[in-house]
Amino acid sequence: MVGTAHPTDMEYEGRYQAFDATRIRTYPLRTRSNKVKLSDLVFPKDLAGRAFDLPEKVRHDVRAVAEAVVTARQAGRPVILFTGAHLIKNGLGPLLVDLVERGAVTLVAGNGATAIHDFELALVGETSENVPAALDQGQFGMAYEFAYINMALSVGNQQKLGYGESLGRMICDETFRRAILSLVAQEDSVAQFGHLEVSVLAACYRRRIPFTVHVGIGTDVIDQHPSFDGQAKGGCSGRDFLLYTQEVTKLTQGGVVLNIGSAVTGPEVLLKAVSMAANVGRVPQGMLTADFDLRVHEPRQMADESAPGYYFRDQKSVVTRIPQAFGGRGLYIQGDQTQTFPFLCKQLAEVL
């Protein structure tokens, strides 16, 4: 059952002056200008005749990743995929949905924006707000329907759920969704999630695969709204971190960890999780880590604090420190993820 939930619990009684979020004015999401439509999305069927402009080394490394994923799943070992928001924003979500449906991954993780883009696509079939057109009008991120996410997290926090599970349940579970919308929906709000087929949150919820969401405060558009509840956001995401770490404890005999375009959050979450797993005697061993990003990778800079590359968390942690610490192998897949990720999915589809 969904009980009574207050839209926010953000009252402040300290010595300073806080912004009054109840002054915020919103607008219906259906009226927003978006850059990405359903027609822009990439589906598995689109890969058959697609040409990939990738160097041979990148192709070789991606094939190695695909082989490792298949081997890990055949052996019942974890395949963890952490993605930044641009994978969804770039229209590649349906490819990740396909990997979930095929059982190629055992956990999907992302930041707050990853979940927001997925939520928008599931709800209205569009995403990627035209920020320059909205920012100077004070309308960036102010679509009212973000209250759905905030309320789902408030109720999910009451029920001790994770972030991704709360959103997946809202999208897929009609009873839960009606309860959430009864608390926050307005007359002009979009009330149905009409595009579940492109939603990674929905696919994970249906397949009982965790979608963990790792957030900060003030980092996402949902935080701008009077419905924002920082305790709920932090509580649900905190539980997701423990779900993620539990999956990492299963890497004792190998597995695969993929980091797709997350420069800071994904690498930092992984770094803490492997340390926690090792601390309780579940030491990761022999895993393959692969980092997909655009920047040039200079391995010699990973130990040089005076070099710019030392501060690239994904290269230092995902490709270097973690696999070295646990007897694994780290690969850096340099290139545009609109090329490298579909190429990986094509290789996996041919084997799976």
- Tokens found for residue 107: 């956990």
- Tokens found for residue 303: 């130990």
Residues of the chain with pLDDT > 90: what percent? 88
In this predicted structure, the answer to whether residue 307 has a pLDDT above a threshold of 90 is no
Report the pLDDT averaged over residues 204-222.
98
Residues of the chain with pLDDT > 70: what percent? 98
pLDDT bucket at 8, cuts 50 / 70 / 90: low
Question: Domain 27-34+54-351, what architecture?
Answer: 3-Layer(aba) Sandwich (3.40)
Indicate the SS3 state at residue 31.
Answer: helix
Write out the H or E segment, with its range, that includes residue 58. helix 56-74
pLDDT bucket at 148, cuts 50 / 70 / 90: very high
Residue 58: name the closest of 341, 350, 349 by CA. Answer: 341
Higher pLDDT: 42 or 313? It is 42
Indicate the SS3 state at residue 331.
Answer: strand
Write out the H or E segment, with its range, that includes residue 94. helix 93-102
Q: What is the phi/psi pair of residue 15, to 5°?
A: -85, -10
In this predicted structure, the answer to whether residue 2 has a pLDDT above a threshold of 60 is no
Q: Give the dihedral sign, CA 251/254/255/260.
A: positive
- Tokens found for residue 210: 């965790």
Q: Please give the pLDDT value at position 5.
A: 40
Q: What is the pLDDT of residues 197-206, one digit of tens each?
A: 999 999 999 9
CB 103 within 8 Å of CB 95 = no
In this predicted structure, the answer to whether residue 236 has a pLDDT above a threshold of 70 is yes
Q: Please give the pLDDT value at position 6.
A: 45
The rounded distance, in Å, linking the Cα atoms of 316 and 304 is 11
What's the gap between Cα 168 and its chain centre? 13
User: What are the residues facing 288 on neighbouring strands?
Assistant: 256, 329
Residue 99: name the closest of 111, 87, 89, 90 by CA. Answer: 87
Other beta carbons less than 10 A from residue 38's beta carbon: 15
Burial (CB count within 10 angstroms: exposed 0-12, middle 13-18, buried 19+), residue 273: buried
Domain ranges of the chain: 27-34+54-351
Mean residue pLDDT of the chain comes to 94
